[in-house]
Amino acid sequence: MSVDGTTALKNLNNIYNSIHNFIALAEKGNSSDIALKLRHLEASLEQLKEAIDSTSDIIGNENYQRARIADLNRRITLKDGLINSFRNGQWQVERMFDFENIGFTHARDGVKYLICANCEDGPVGYLCPVTKAHFVAVCRVKQE
């Protein structure tokens, strides 16, 4: 079954059509067709119930999103700490590839941050937009 709710929406559409047909037959007064459409409506409702039960766990998704937001807040704190760490100790390199496994983020306010290419953790440094020099925080790197 689908976990994104498309099956539930299809079943809901079937129920709408069944109710619409049921009302049209009730207005005409044909009792045998009404009983048949009523059974079809009951089957559609059961399918909807099964589809809703198969949708993804909303609470689980909420907890996942909360964890992602907490991770983003942690990264923002790391970015702020990076700026302070440049006041204390930094390395300047001419090319990003002087270090292994370093990647860039997208430019934010004209600044590109350096991140770990393996785990995308960071920032570990930044690219100065004026001088095009790469600054790496000493406290953010380790030699292996």
pLDDT values of the chain reduced to their tens digit, one per residue, 144 residues: 445 567 767 777 777 777 777 777 776 766 677 677 777 777 777 777 777 766 665 566 777 888 888 888 888 887 777 666 655 677 777 776 777 777 888 877 777 888 888 776 778 888 887 888 887 877 777 666
Q: Of the candidates 123, 120, 125, 121, which has an alpha carbon nearest to the alpha carbon of residue 91? A: 125
| Domain spans in the chain, listed from the N-terminal domain onward | 6-56, 59-140
Rg from Cα positions in the chain? 29
| Domain 59-140: CATH class, spelled out | mainly beta
HEC secondary structure over 70-137: HHHHHHHHHHHHHHHHHHHCEEEECCHHHCCCEEECCCECCEEEEEECCCCCCCCEEECCCCCCEEEE
37, exposed or middle or buried, with CB in 10 Å at 0-12, 13-18, 19+? buried
Say if residues 122 and 105 touch (Cβ distance below 8 Å). yes
Task: Give, in order, the Cα–Cα distances in Å from 67 to each of 61, 73, 92, 126, 144.
Answer: 10, 10, 34, 26, 30
**pLDDT score, position 14:** 77
Give the Cα separation of 79 and 90 in Å (integer): 14
**pLDDT score, position 1:** 42
**pLDDT score, position 56:** 61
Does the pTM of the predicted model rise above 0.75?
no
**pLDDT score, position 2:** 44
**pLDDT score, position 78:** 78
Provide the Cα torsion 23, 28, 33, 35; round to 10°. 60
